[in-house]
């Protein structure tokens, strides 16, 4: 077996509406409702399914908790523009810009927190 890519991940969150607002308004993701009123956020060729803490869908993680995620999102936008947008929206950058290593090479990243305290890395791949 050879895995090609992520399709989706699940975030357990304290407040689905607050999470949707952050990922929609700050990161430009599109909220969707599917199968029995479940909520997800779509972007590119992937999505984030949202589970309400204490009311998770089965099957679920062994110990689902809000605020325990740490993941990286890639943008094509210049990182300086990302930092300016975050500042205009009042979203503090916790770390960065800093150089890191992504799945396919060097990246430049900033780190922010979502409403649950999840660490969200926003990165651009450097050309050349």
Q: Is the confidence at residue 64, as pLDDT, over 90?
A: no
Q: Is the confidence at residue 55, as pLDDT, over 90?
A: no
Average confidence (pLDDT) over 73-101: 96
Angstrom CA distances, 74 to 37, 59, 60, 65, 122, stand at: 28, 28, 26, 24, 6
Q: How many CA atoms lie within 13 A of 90 on its CB side?
A: 3
Quote the pTM value: 0.92
Nearest to 20 by CA among 44, 55, 57, 49: 49
Which member of 56, 76, 85, 121 is catalytic? 121
76 is known as an active-site residue: no
For residues 120 and 86, the answer to whether their CB atoms sit within 8 Å is no
Q: pLDDT per residue over 82-93, tens digit each?
A: 999 999 999 999
Residue 95: predicted pLDDT: 97
For residues 50 and 16, the answer to whether their CB atoms sit within 8 Å is yes
Residue 127: predicted pLDDT: 63
Residue 43: predicted pLDDT: 96
Residue 54: predicted pLDDT: 77
Residue 128: predicted pLDDT: 44
pLDDT averaged over every residue in the chain = 93
The C-alpha atoms of residue 103 and residue 95 are separated, in whole angstroms, by 20
Grade residue 126 by pLDDT with cuts at 50, 70 and 90.
Answer: confident
The C-alpha atoms of residue 106 and residue 85 are separated, in whole angstroms, by 23
DSSP characters over 56-125? PPSS--SS--TT--EEEEE-SS-HHHHHHHHHHTT---SEEEEEEEETTEEEEEEEEE-TT--EEEEEEE
């Amino acid at each position: 077996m050879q895995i090609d890519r992520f399709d989706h991940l699940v975030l357990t969150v304290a407040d689905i509406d607050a999470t949707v607002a952050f990922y929609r308004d700050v990161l430009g993701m599109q909220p969707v409702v599917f199968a029995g009123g479940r909520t997800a956020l779509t972007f590119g060729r992937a999505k984030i399914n949202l589970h309400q803490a204490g009311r998770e869908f089965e099957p679920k993680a062994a110990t689902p908790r809000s605020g325990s995620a740490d993941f990286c999102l890639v943008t094509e936008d210049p990182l300086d523009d990302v930092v300016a947008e975050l500042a205009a929206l009042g979203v503090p950058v916790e770390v960065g810009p800093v150089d890191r290593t992504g799945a396919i090479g060097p990246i430049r990243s900033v780190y922010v927190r979502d409403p649950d305290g999840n660490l969200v890395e926003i990165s651009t791949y450097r050309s050349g």
